[in-house]
Amino acid sequence: MSFLWRSLAAAFGFSRPPRILQVGHPLLRVPSRTVSREEMFSEEVKSTISKMNSVFTSPLHRPVGLAAPQIGSPLRIIAFKLPDQPRTSLPTVLINPVIEMIEAEEKWTRQYESCESMQYYNAIVRRPNRLQVRGIRQDGSCVKLDAKGFLARILHHEIDHLDGMVFADRMEPKSIRHDNYIGKFELPVD
């Protein structure tokens, strides 16, 4: 741990979050493993969720969503937190999420999108504006979410990670750009 990081950790009471795997790492291309009922409360699942939570509370990251493979875990777990939620609040965690499409692909919207695993780049990606997701909460209870707008986009993006996909696999051709060009070179979106 560097001197700067130790100093920040001591002053503000946080620990270093896990490293976020970047595009090119093979774990990001492998479908994640379903969490069985028996392992729902295992140390592996608890540790994975704890590491994911630390990414959301770290001053180094500002994610709206994260999938377990992005921190090196092969489990089907995602976490999300909308930007209007307090910085210190923990994200919502879903285990074994499954998407139920509501909209036809022709109705999907085009928006710029980025990813913690493809830092400093964004591209236009078509995603559903509305979908439903079934999953399991950390306490083992089942949940069904009716997601719209930005939340639907986040959930679709994170569940793609669980299936070995990154947003570059869905991006519109020639729409990728570096974050330095946000607000300077904009392609039309929906």
* Residue 121 parent element (H or E): strand 121-127
What pLDDT is recorded for position 61?
A: 79
| Distant-in-sequence, close-in-space partners of 44: CB < 8 Å, separation ≥ 6 | 73, 75
pLDDT value at position 147? 97
Which positions are annotated as active-site residues?
Answer: 158
- Number of C-beta neighbours around residue 186 at 10 A: 11
Identify the pLDDT of residue 18.
86
- Give the per-residue pLDDT at 86: 82
Q: What is the pLDDT of residue 120?
A: 95
pLDDT value of position 9: 56
Residue 54 CA to residue 2 CA, distance in Å, equals 18
**Mean pLDDT of each 10-residue bin along the chain, 190 residues long:** 56 71 97 97 97 88 94 98 85 97 95 96 97 97 97 98 97 95 88
